[in-house]
Amino acid sequence: MGDERLRLFSGSANAELAQLVARYLGLAPGPLVRKSFADGEVYVQIQESIRGCDVYLIQPTCAPVNDHLMEMLILIDACRRASARQITAVIPYYGYARADRKTAGRESITAKLVANLITAAGVDRVLAMDLHSAQIQAYFDIPLDHVYGSPVLLQYIKDRQLEDIVIVSPDVGGVSRARAFAKKLDDAPLAFVDKRRQAHNEVEVMNLVGDVHGKTAILVDDMIDTAGTISEAARVLLERGAREVYACATHPVFSANAIERLSDGTFTEVIVTNTIPVAPERRFPQLRILSVADLLGEAIWRIHEDSSVSSMFR
C-alpha cells in the first residue's frame, strides 16, 4: 500500500494466513531465518533492515502452543534488537486463554502470564482476534486492538439463506456472544444449553433453554477444541426437534477426538476460519474454512494509519 515503513513477518504457526494478509496489504512477508537446534532451541534472524520500521508479526499460539509462543517471543526480541520503531504482535489465536481467572485455590492464571511474557519481550501493541473472554484485554498494559471473526461467519450464513434459524450458545458463558450474533441476523431467536463440566474437556449437558423445534439451529462459539461441548449440545438440539444443526466458531483448535465427533453426521456444516491451520488429512466433508485474512489486513492498515479499528464492526 505504498508505505516502506510497514513490514510484515510471519512465524511458522500459520504462514499461509500471513501470505494472504500480506497479499491484501500489497506486501510480501519479510525474509527471516528460523531453525531449531538439536536440543529444540529456536533460532531466528531477520534478513533485512527494519530500523525505524513499524513491524507486524503474525503468529497464532496454536498447537504446539509452547513452541509457537516461544517462537513469537524470540521474533519480538529479534525485531526489538534490530531497532524496529514499533512492534505489533498479530495473534489470530491466543493460546492459554481459558485459564483467565482462578476457579480453585493454587491455580495459575495463564492468560495473564502469557500477556506478561509478550509485553516483557518488547512488543508495543497487540492485535488479537476473538479472545476467549473480553477481560483478557485488561491483562495487557500496552494497547490492544480486539477484532472479531463474526463478520466473515455472518456473511457466510446470510449467503446460505437458511430458513427458520435459531442461534444457540453451547453454554451459559457464551450467551452474550450468541446474542450479538443473533442481532446481526435480523434479531434471530436465541437459545442456550446449560452444561455442567465434570472435569477439563469433559462435559455433561443438562438442559436446553429456548425453542428449537423444527428450526435450523446454529451453534456459535469462539473455538472448537475437543468438540465435546458442541457435539453434546448438537445432540440435545436434535433430540428437541431441531431440523438440522450448524456449528460456527472462529478458532478450529480440533484437538483429541474432535474430528471424529464433528464428522459423525450430527452437523450439516462446521464453519470455522483460518486463524489456525487445519491440515488436509484432518479435514472432513462438512468442514467449511473461511478466510479472515482481509479482515486482519484491514485492521493492520488502520492501526498503521492511526485510523479507527472498531468502526470496522459497526
Distance from C-alpha of 46 to C-alpha of 54, rounded to nearest angstrom? 14
| Closest among 181, 202, 220 to 261, alpha carbons compared | 202
All cell numbers assigned to 271? 464453519
Q: Cα–Cα–Cα angle for 190, 195, 197, nearest 5°?
A: 150
pLDDT (tens digit per residue) in 121-146: 999 999 999 999 999 999 999 999 99
All cell numbers assigned to 55? 513491524
* 223 bridge partner residues: 251
Please give the pLDDT value at position 165. Answer: 97
Please give the pLDDT value at position 200. Answer: 63
Please give the pLDDT value at position 197. Answer: 61
Please give the pLDDT value at position 314. Answer: 82
Please give the pLDDT value at position 196. Answer: 67
pLDDT-flagged residues of the chain (< 70): 1-2, 196-206
Distance from C-alpha of 205 to C-alpha of 265, rounded to nearest angstrom? 19
Please give the pLDDT value at position 226. Answer: 96
Please give the pLDDT value at position 4. Answer: 82
Q: Which residue numbers are catalytic?
A: 195
| Prediction pTM value | 0.94
Torsion of CA 36, 37, 42, 47, to 10 degrees: -70
3-state secondary structure (DSSP) of residue 183: helix
Alpha carbon of residue 58 to chain centroid: 13
- Pairing mode, if any, of strands 32-36 and 42-46? antiparallel
Residue 213 CB neighbours (<10 A): 10
Alpha carbon of residue 45 to chain centroid: 27
Provide the greatest CA pair distance for the chain.
61
Q: Cα–Cα–Cα angle for 138, 143, 149, nearest 5°?
A: 80
Which ranges of the chain would DSSP assign to H, the alpha helix?
15-25, 65-81, 110-121, 150-160, 175-184, 228-239, 258-262, 293-304
Are residues 53 and 85 in contact, defined by beta-carbon separation less than 8 angstroms?
Answer: yes
Distance from C-alpha of 145 to C-alpha of 293, rounded to nearest angstrom? 16
